[in-house]
Amino acid sequence: MSHISPDPEPERTPGLEPGGGVPPGETPPAESSLPEAGPQETHNPPKGWSKAPLALIIVLVVLIAAFFLAYALVLML
């Protein structure tokens, strides 16, 4: 991977005045990204523990809904 400089070159950037200023009505150049800015991630699994917590949340919601349904039926009788 090659290193990309985040600084624009004023000599080759259109719309810049001498000294690096931007004339009125002109859009300044955008910042380039820094592909080597963060630490290298060596372990980032695409799937993990998300199925178990989701199943527990669904079971909890079903139990709470069943409790309120039973409570409503008891009150109606």
pLDDT digits (tens, 9 = 90+) for 4-50: 666 666 666 666 677 767 777 776 556 665 666 667 777 766 666 67
Is residue 29 within 8 Å of 13, Cβ to Cβ?
yes
0.85 exceeded by pTM: no
DSSP state at residue 54:
H
Is residue 1 within 8 Å of 35, Cβ to Cβ?
yes
DSSP state at residue 27:
P
Q: Is 45 exposed, middle or buried (0-12, 13-18, 19+ CB in 10 A)?
A: exposed
Is residue 25 within 8 Å of 14, Cβ to Cβ?
no
Average pLDDT, integer, range 55-75:
96
Between CA 4 and CA 14 the distance in angstroms is: 19
